[in-house]
C-alpha cells in the first residue's frame, strides 16, 4: 500500500474520533445546561430539600450528693459527636470515620476499643490476671463468631476476615485497625437508622467548629449539645460513684423493656448503675429540620426533658477524702520501709481497703479502695487500667476477700462466752505451744517471734495481747459448728446487700466448705479457723460490720450507702433509707464488757499501743496479721470510738501490709477527720466546704 493510501486511512479514523469526542462533549454540555439552567431550580430544591424528624432530647441525670448535700457528681453542658446512619454514605463511611478519628481526642471517645487484637502485627490480647484473661477469651470467641472463622483461627486470619467484612482491604494496617475498632463498636451498639452512634462526648469547641465549618466533608456526622457528668473531686470515690456509658447489644432487650431508647446513656457501675432508675430523667422531644446532607437548619423543642432525681449518699465527702489519702500514704510508707528491711517484709505491698461505718445505723461513712483511678480520664486511661496488675478498677472494699487474722478473735470470744464454753474468768496458761492434737504443735505468735508465751491469760488479756493459745483452746471447746452459728449471726461469709455491684460473698471456714474441694476437716483446722485463718475469707465491709455488731451490743444492721432520694422537682425527699436490722443478738452485759475492755487494752497498752497509746479519744481496737500463700502477710486492723459510747467502727486491710500495727494509722487518720468534724458541729459551724475539716 502506498503512502497516500495510508494517510487517507488514518485521516478517516481521526475524523471519526473527533466526531465522537464532539458528540460526547455536546452531550455533557447539554446535561450541564439542563441541570444548571433549564432545571437548575428543581435540582437546587432537591439538594436543599428539608427532612423533618422527631428526636429524643436526653434528660439531665440526677446529681449524686454526700450525706450533707455536698455535690459529688453534677452535670454541665457540652457537645457530643454522633454518627447518623440516615446520612452516612455506605460507600465512603470508612474514609469518613478515619478522617473523623483524626479530629477527635482519645479522652473524648465514648467507647473503648473492644477488639481483642493488638495493632499490626496482629496478636490476640493477653493478661496476667486470670479474671481479665477470662473476659478476653470471651471477647475473642465473640469476634470469631461475628466474622464466621474457625475457633482455631489466629489473630491475623481473624482480622483478615473482619477487614473483608468491613471492606478495609485497601487501607494500611494501622488505619484498617483503627477503623475496624470503631465499626466493630458500632455493631456492638446496634448502630442503625433509628439508633445513632455516639462516638465522642465533651468535645472541644475547636473540634465542634471544624465539624460544623467542614460539614460537607463529614456527611452523617452530627454535633449535638448534651449534658456531661462532672466530678467535683476527681480521683476520689471512683469505685463508689461509677460511670455512665452507652447501651450494648447484649443489654438492649432488657433496657428496651424498661422503656429506654438504644441511644440512651445509662449507669455502668457503682451508684450510677444501682440507682439508675432514680438518676435517669424523662426524655424530651424536639422536631428538627435537616438538609439531605444532614445539616440541621432548625430545631423546635416540643416536649421539655425532666431531670432525674438526686441521690444522697451516707458518705461524708471529707471523711472519704481522709480515708483515701491515708490509705494511699500508708501503702506507700509500708513499701518504702519494706525496701529497707533485711527480710523485705512489706516491699511487696499491693493495695488495700478501708471502711468506716456508723455502728448505730449501718450507714457507710467512708469506703476506700487502693489503688484507685480517675473517672474523669477513664476512657483515655482504660487500656492502662485493665493491664495494671494491681487492678485499680477492682473495689477491694466489697469485692476483695481476705483472711481476717486476729481481728476474728472477738467472734471466737463471743461464741465461747455466749455458749458457756468459757467464761470471763476462764484462764489459759500460754506457754507459746498448744499440743492438744499431738504430735501436731500449734504456736502462739509470741513464741514464734520471742521464744516465750503469754503466761496465765483470760479473755481480756487474750484480746489485748492477741494470744493464739487462748483462742485455739476456745475454738476447740466451742467446736466449728457452734462457732460458725455465731459467725453467721455476725454476718460473716455472706453478702451484706449494700447498694453497689460486685459484692463478694466470702467464705466461712468449716467442714461443708472443705468438702466442696473434696477434702476433710480436721480438729487442727478448727484451731486455725478460731484465730481467723484456715479457709476464712471476708470482705473489709463484712469485717467492719461484724465489729460494729459486737460493739453496739449485738444489733447487726444491713449496711447501706444510699441515704435518700431527692425529688427532681425540688419539692423534697421522695425516699429515705431507714436503718434495717438484719440480726439481733442478745449479748450478756458482762460478756460484752469483757470483749470491749480487751479491745480497749489492745489499743492503749497492747498490740496497737504504738499508734493509739496517747490518742486523745478513748479507742478500742484489734490488730491482725494474716498469712497468705506467698509474700508478706496481710495487715488487718479494726477499731471503734469513742469507747464509752461507740459511734464509728473502722476496718482496714492492706495486702502484704506486714502487720495490723502497720496499717492502724489509717484508722487513726479516719478518726482524726471524724472527730474534727464533730468538734466543728459542736461549735455550731456551718457544714460548708471551707469550714469542715
Going from the first residue of the chain to its last (693 residues), give the mean pLDDT of each consecutive group of 10, the final group possibly shorter. Answer: 55 63 64 57 54 72 96 94 92 96 88 89 88 90 96 96 97 96 93 90 92 92 91 95 90 89 91 96 74 63 82 98 98 93 87 98 98 92 88 97 98 98 98 96 96 97 98 98 98 97 97 93 97 97 98 98 87 86 97 98 96 95 94 97 97 96 97 89 48 30
Q: Which helix (H) or strand (E) holds 351?
A: none
What does the pLDDT read at residue 691? Answer: 29
Check: CB of residue 494 under 8 Å from CB of residue 486: no
Q: Which helix (H) or strand (E) holds 158?
A: helix 155-166
Torsion of CA 448, 334, 540, 71, to 10 degrees: 160
What does the pLDDT read at residue 86? Answer: 87
What does the pLDDT read at residue 100? Answer: 96
What does the pLDDT read at residue 4? Answer: 55
Among 483, 429, 435, 489, smallest CA distance to 454 is for 429
Give the Cα separation of 368 and 666 in Å (integer).
11
Give the Cα separation of 579 and 563 in Å (integer).
10
Q: Verify cis geometry, omega within 30 degrees of 0, for the bond prior to 271.
A: no
Length of the chain (residues)? 693
Among 26, 28, 185, 46, smallest CA distance to 112 is for 185
Give the Cα separation of 233 and 405 in Å (integer).
34
Among 280, 310, 228, smallest CA distance to 568 is for 310
Give the Cα separation of 602 and 610 in Å (integer).
10
Task: Give the DSSP letter string of 137-181.
Answer: HHHHHHHHHHHT--TT--HHHHHHHHHHHHT-TTS-HHHHHHHHH
* Strand segments (E) across 514-591: 555-557, 562-566, 573-576, 581-584
Check: CB of residue 290 under 8 Å from CB of residue 47: no
What letter would DSSP give residue 118? P
Cell 450507714, located at residue: 363
* Strand pairing class (310-313; 64-65): parallel
Identify the bridge partners of residue 538 per DSSP, sorted by sequence position.
402
pTM of the model: 0.86
Tell me the CB-side half-sphere exposure of residue 38, using CA atoms within 13 A: 7
Helices (H) and strands (E) in the chain, counts: 25, 23
3-state secondary structure of 656: coil
Tell me the CB-side half-sphere exposure of residue 197, using CA atoms within 13 A: 24
Among 429, 545, 420, 547, smallest CA distance to 479 is for 420
3-state secondary structure of 111: coil
Identify the bridge partners of residue 148 per DSSP, sorted by sequence position.
none
Give the Cα separation of 349 and 385 in Å (integer).
18
What does the pLDDT read at residue 531? Answer: 98
What does the pLDDT read at residue 690? Answer: 34
Give the Cα separation of 656 and 635 in Å (integer).
7
Cα 341 from chain centroid (whole Å): 34
Cell of 204: 472541644
Contacts of 45 (CB under 8 A, 6+ apart): none
Cell 465533651, located at residue: 202
Whole-angstrom CA distances from 372 to 100, 235, 387, 434 are 32, 7, 14, 42
Tell me the CB-side half-sphere exposure of residue 169, using CA atoms within 13 A: 6
Give the Cα separation of 583 and 490 in Å (integer).
8
Among 261, 310, 344, 262, smallest CA distance to 70 is for 310
Amino acid at each position: 500500500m502506498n503512502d497516500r493510501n495510508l494517510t487517507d486511512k488514518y485521516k478517516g479514523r481521526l475524523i471519526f474520533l473527533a466526531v465522537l469526542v464532539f458528540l460526547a462533549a455536546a452531550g455533557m454540555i447539554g446535561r450541564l445546561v439542563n441541570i444548571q439552567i433549564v432545571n437548575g431550580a428543581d435540582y437546587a430544591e432537591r439538594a436543599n430539600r428539608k427532612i423533618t424528624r422527631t428526636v429524643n432530647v436526653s434528660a439531665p441525670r440526677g446529681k449524686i450528693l454526700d450525706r450533707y448535700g455536698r455535690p459529688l457528681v453534677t452535670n454541665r453542658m457540652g457537645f457530643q459527636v454522633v454518627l447518623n446512619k440516615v446520612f452516612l454514605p455506605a460507600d465512603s463511611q470508612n474514609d469518613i470515620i478515619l478522617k473523623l478519628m483524626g479530629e477527635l481526642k482519645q479522652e473524648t471517645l465514648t467507647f473503648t476499643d473492644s477488639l481483642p487484637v493488638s495493632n499490626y502485627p496482629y496478636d490476640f490480647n493477653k493478661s496476667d490476671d486470670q479474671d481479665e484473661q477470662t473476659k478476653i477469651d470471651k471477647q475473642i470467641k465473640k469476634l470469631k463468631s461475628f466474622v464466621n472463622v474457625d475457633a482455631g483461627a489466629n489473630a491475623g486470619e481473624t482480622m483478615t476476615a473482619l477487614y473483608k467484612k468491613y471492606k478495609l482491604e485497601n487501607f494500611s494496617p494501622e488505619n484498617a485497625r483503627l477503623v475496624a475498632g470503631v465499626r466493630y463498636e458500632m455493631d456492638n451498639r446496634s448502630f442503625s437508622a433509628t439508633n445513632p452512634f455516639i462516638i465522642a462526648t465533651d468535645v472541644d469547641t475547636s473540634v465542634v467548629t471544624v465539624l460544623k465549618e467542614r460539614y460537607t466533608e463529614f456527611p452523617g456526622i452530627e454535633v449535638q449539645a448534651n449534658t456531661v457528668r462532672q466530678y467535683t473531686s476527681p480521683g476520689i470515690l471512683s469505685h463508689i460513684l461509677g460511670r455512665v456509658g452507652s447501651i450494648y447489644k447484649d443489654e438492649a432487650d432488657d433496657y428496651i423493656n424498661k422503656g429506654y431508647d438504644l441511644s440512651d446513656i445509662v449507669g455502668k457501675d457503682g451508684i450510677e448503675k444501682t440507682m439508675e432508675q432514680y438518676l435517669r430523667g424523662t426524655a424530651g422531644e424536639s422536631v428538627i429540620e435537616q438538609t439531605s446532607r444532614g445539616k440541621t437548619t432548625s430545631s423546635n423543642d416540643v416536649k421539655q426533658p425532666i431531670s432525674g432525681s438526686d441521690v444522697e449518699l451516707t458518705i461524708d465527702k471529707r471523711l472519704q477524702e481522709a480515708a483515701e489519702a491515708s490509705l494511699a500514704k500508708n501503702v506507700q510508707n509500708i513499701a518504702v520501709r519494706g525496701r529497707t528491711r533485711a527480710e523485705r517484709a512489706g516491699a511487696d505491698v499491693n493495695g488495700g481497703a478501708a471502711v468506716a461505718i456508723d455502728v448505730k445505723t449501718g450507714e457507710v461513712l467512708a469506703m476506700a479502695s487502693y489503688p484507685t483511678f480517675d473517672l474523669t480520664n477513664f476512657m483515655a486511661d482504660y487500656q492502662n487500667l485493665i493491664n495494671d496488675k494491681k487492678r485499680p478498677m477492682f473495689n477491694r472494699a466489697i469485692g476483695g476477700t481476705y483472711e481476717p487474722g486476729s481481728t476474728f478473735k472477738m467472734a471466737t470470744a463471743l461464741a465461747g462466752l455466749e455458749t458457756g464454753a468459757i467464761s470471763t474468768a476462764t484462764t489459759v496458761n500460754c506457754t507459746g505451744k498448744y499440743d492438744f492434737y499431738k504430735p501436731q504443735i500449734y504456736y502462739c505468735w509470741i513464741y514464734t517471734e520471742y521464744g516465750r508465751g503469754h503466761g496465765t491469760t483470760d479473755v481480756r488479756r487474750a484480746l489485748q495481747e492477741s494470744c493464739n493459745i487462748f483462742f485455739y483452746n476456745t475454738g476447740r471447746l466451742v467446736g466449728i459448728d457452734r462457732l460458725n452459728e455465731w459467725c453467721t449471726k455476725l454476718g460473716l461469709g455472706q453478702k451484706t446487700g449494700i447498694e453497689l455491684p460486685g459484692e463478694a460473698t466470702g467464705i466461712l471456714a468449716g467442714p461443708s466448705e472443705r468438702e466442696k474441694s473434696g477434702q476433710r476437716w480436721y480438729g487442727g483446722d478448727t484451731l486455725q479457723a478460731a484465730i481467723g485463718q484456715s479457709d476464712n475469707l471476708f470482705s473489709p465491709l463484712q469485717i467492719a460490720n461484724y465489729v460494729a455488731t459486737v460493739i453496739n451490743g449485738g444489733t447487726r444492721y444491713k449496711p447501706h450507702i444510699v441515704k435518700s432520694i431527692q425529688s427532681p422537682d425540688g419539692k423534697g425527699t421522695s425516699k429515705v433509707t431507714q436503718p434495717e436490722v438484719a440480726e439481733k443478738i442478745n449479748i450478756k452485759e458482762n460478756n460484752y464488757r469483757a470483749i470491749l475492755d480487751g479491745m480497749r487494752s489492745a489499743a492503749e497498752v497492747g498490740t496497737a499501743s504504738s499508734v493509739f497509746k496517747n490518742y486523745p479519744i478513748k479507742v478500742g481496737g484489734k490488730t491482725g496479721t494474716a498469712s497468705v500463700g506467698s509474700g508478706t502477710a496481710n495487715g488487718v486492723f479494726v477499731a471503734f470510738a469513742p469507747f464509752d459510747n461507740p459511734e464509728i467502727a473502722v476496718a482496714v486491710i492492706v495486702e502484704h501490709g506486714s502487720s495490723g500495727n502497720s496499717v492502724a494509722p489509717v484508722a487513726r487518720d479516719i478518726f482524726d477527720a471524724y472527730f474534727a468534724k464533730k468538734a466543728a458541729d459542736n461549735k455550731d459551724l456551718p457544714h460548708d466546704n471551707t469550714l469542715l475539716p
